[in-house]
Amino acid sequence: MSEVLKPGQRYASEPGDAATAYGRHKPEGVDTSHGAILYLEDITVSFDGFRALNKLNLDISVGELRCIIGPNGAGKTTMMDVITGKTRPTTGGAWFGQTIDLTRMTEYDIAHAGIGRKFQRPTVFEQHTVFENLELAMKMNKRVKPTLFFRLSSEQKGKIDEILKLIRLNGQEHRPAGLLSHGQKQWLEIGMLLMQEPQLLLLDEPVAGMSDAETARTAELLNELRGLHSIVVVEHDMAFVEEIAQQGVVTVLHEGSVLAQGTMQQVQSDDRVIEVYLGR
């Protein structure tokens, strides 16, 4: 299991400025000088005495793509809810970088601080075109100054084109989003999150309901984002997790805490993981 740092602590084995080594984008306003973008420390969430999370510890490095797996009821959604401020932990700490205490912030402030979350069901603006959806998302980016007569600059148009290619929707930009396939809507929503330049992207079961071809393309997409953004993916589709985990860390949650952590190969051959999840 990897070491969990407390705010102010350093990795014993890593250089001080790991943030630049991990990702191209050094987050603004978030102190990642010790290389981590997110720390969960001993988080417990009790619902009427039932512990959905039980002293959960987790740390995510800048630029890392972390897959979280685990059986139904393991606490994966509750963990995402704690990170985004939807659920307050009963005890424990949640830190964005070294200094931002997520347990004291509203959902709105957390989104504006740079944590973007994609829920399982796509929530695009169906009446608007693909392009307009991306444009609207850009206007919601706090780094873009809102003006009454907002006109896209060539740089902003370039950014939208870049994202359209990334999410495999170039050539579809003038279609109403409502006419896209389920998979395309999911990609559009990922694109909308990227327009807001999140420092940390949380994806909840991104390939649920997708065709095999769409799942494969989503894996390609996430592999292209690797290193450019810090990403946490919760997913049950093990073939997909294998595609995107590569040699990175996979975390297995069970009964509200970390059961195992390591490469996909390591967790797949862990007897406890086979017993509670993979072997069933």
Ligand X SMILES: Nc1ncnc2c1ncn2[C@@H]1O[C@H](COP(=O)(O)OP(=O)(O)OP(=O)(O)O)[C@@H](O)[C@H]1O
Helices 182-195 and 130-139 pack at an angle, to 10 degrees, of 30
Nearest residue (CB) to ligand X, 13 versus 72: 72
Smallest distance, ligand X to C-beta of residue 186, A:
17
- Asked whether position 261 contacts ligand X by CB under 6 A, the answer is no
Extended strands (E) in 27-149: 36-47, 50-61, 65-69, 91-96, 100-101, 115-118
Q: In what order do the strands lie in the sheet with 257-262?
A: 115-118, 200-204, 230-234, 65-69, 250-254, 257-262
Among 37, 74, 200, 244, which residue interacts with ligand X (rule: CB under 6 A)? 74
Calculate ∠ Cα 84-141-230, nearest 5°. Answer: 50
Strands 65-69 and 230-234: parallel
Interacting positions 158-197 with ligand X (CB under 6 A): none
- Nearest residue (CB) to ligand X, 81 versus 270: 81
54 touching ligand X, by CB under 6 A: no
CB of 83 to ligand X, least distance (A): 12
Binding-site member from 70, 92, 183, 206 for ligand X (CB under 6 A): 70
Nearest partner of 219 among 196, 242, 252, judged by Cα: 242
Of 115, 131, 97, 98, residue with least CA distance to 106 = 115
Tell me if 75 contacts ligand X by CB under 6 A. yes
Cβ closer to ligand X: 152 or 208?
Answer: 208
Q: Which residue's entry shows tokens 């993981």?
A: 273
Is 254 a binding residue for ligand X by CB under 6 A? The answer is: no
23-31, 72-80, 162-170, 221-229 -> range binding ligand X (CB under 6 A): 72-80
Burial label for 93, CB within 10 Å (0-12, 13-18, 19+), is middle
CA distance 267 to 135: 41
**Is 46 an interacting residue with respect to ligand X (CB under 6 A)?**
no
Which of these ranges, 34-42, 65-73, 91-99, 131-139, lies near ligand X under the rule CB under 6 A? 65-73
Q: Establish if 78 lies at the interface with ligand X (CB under 6 A).
A: yes
Tokens of 35: 């290389």
Q: How far apart are CA 223 and CA 246, in angstroms?
A: 9
Give the shortest CB-58-to-ligand X separation in angstroms. 14
Shortest distance (Å) from residue 204 CB to ligand X: 8
- In the list 38, 60, 61, 76, the residue contacting ligand X (rule: CB under 6 A) is 76
Span from 69-77, 170-178, 237-245, 264-272 in contact with ligand X (CB under 6 A):
69-77
Query: How far is Cα 116 from Cα 164, in angstroms, rounded to an integer?
Result: 18
Q: How far apart are CA 98 and CA 96, in angstroms?
A: 6
Shortest spacing between CB 74 and ligand X, in angstroms: 4
Q: Which stretch binds ligand X (CB under 6 A): 22-30, 47-55, 154-162, 263-271?
A: 47-55
Nearer to ligand X, 29 or 73 (CB): 73
Query: Could you list the residues that contact ligand X (CB under 6 A)?
Result: 47, 50, 52, 70, 72-78
